[in-house]
Amino acid sequence: MSALLTVDLRIPHRRRGQGVGVAPIASGILNRRRRARANAVPRSSLDPKRGEGAAARLGTRAIAADQGMRRAGVLDWQHIARSHRRNTSVMSLPHSFKRITLHLARDRQHPEGSSRHGYDIVAPLGADGRIDPQAWRERRDACRVRRFWAGEKDEIGHLVHRAGGVGGHTWVIDYDPERSDDDEATYRLGDHVLQVGEYVSIAHEDEMHTFRVISVVNAA
């Protein structure tokens, strides 16, 4: 009678003081596989014929997160918009404030005049079309001037009302409040009716230039 050979197929477990057994290793592998399957995207969601519903369910969290971000963004922009409206209401100008554009009139260098040389002036005009000194005093910071000259960088200054000159007062373009040597004097600007077609004179670097009023529009 032949002897029967038996083999013990039981997987030994680790005992105290022994090395790592087979069962813990296999268990760790299985756990990692389970986690991978849990995190994996189901194939049905990748197959347009099978998984539109599954894909929609998978995208629910992402959509909810995106909507949350959008809501947060809307609130942020609403806050910015409210702040802008408040600032605009503070900085808005009365209807009398106009933006007056001047272009260089004819001279020796420019026999046809030039639209590339001139000024943009923000100033309050009275009913007669002349600069209103009282309105200027109330909002003098808003009375800005931009000098544009071909080939040169734009200069930004303020229209300033000072004592002196013809009639006891004069309007000056002040580019730097710390300096006076860069100021540009005007010739009786306060006496001119600032409407389209009229002419005014402004001195730049001690040379007087004549400019034509091209447009007068609301500054606000």
Q: Per-residue pLDDT for 114 more than 50? A: yes
Give the whole-angstrom CA distance, residue 165 versus residue 196.
26
Q: In what order do the strands lie in the sheet with 184-185?
A: 184-185, 169-174, 155-163, 144-149, 114-124, 97-104, 207-218, 199-204
Distance CA 15, CA 211 (A): 103
Least confident among 5-19, 103-117, 142-156: 5-19
User: What's the pLDDT tens digit per position in 20-68?
Assistant: 444 454 455 556 656 656 555 554 444 444 444 544 444 545 444 444 4
Angle formed at CA 141 by CA 137 and CA 142, multiple of 5 degrees: 95
* pLDDT tens-digit map of 54-108: 444 445 454 444 444 444 444 344 443 444 344 433 358 999 999 999 999 999 9
**pLDDT at residue 34, rounded to an integer:** 63
173: number of Cβ within 10 Å:
24
Which residues have C-beta within 8 Å of that of residue 112, sequence separation ≥ 6? 106
Q: Categorize the per-residue pLDDT at 112 as very low, low, confident or very high, splitting at 50, 70 and 90.
A: very high
Is 188's pLDDT higher than 70?
Answer: yes
Distance between CA atoms of residues 186 and 202, nearest Å: 4
CA dihedral (157, 160, 163, 165) positive or negative? positive
What is the torsional sign of CA 102, 108, 110, 113?
positive
pLDDT of residue 169: 78
Question: What is the C-alpha to C-alpha distance for residues 100 and 215, in angstroms, rounded to an integer?
Answer: 6
Give residue 180's pLDDT: 85
More confident position, 26 or 125: 125
In tens, the pLDDT along 193-220 reads: 999 999 999 999 889 999 999 999 999 7
Higher-scoring residue by pLDDT: 2, 163: 163
In order, the DSSP letters of 95-118 are TTEEEEEEEE---SS-TT-EEEEE
Q: What is the pLDDT of residue 38?
A: 59
Q: What is the distance of C-alpha 2 from the center of its chain?
A: 96
Identity at 100, one-letter amino acid code: I
Q: What is the pLDDT of residues 153-182, one digit of tens each?
A: 999 999 999 887 666 679 999 999 898 888
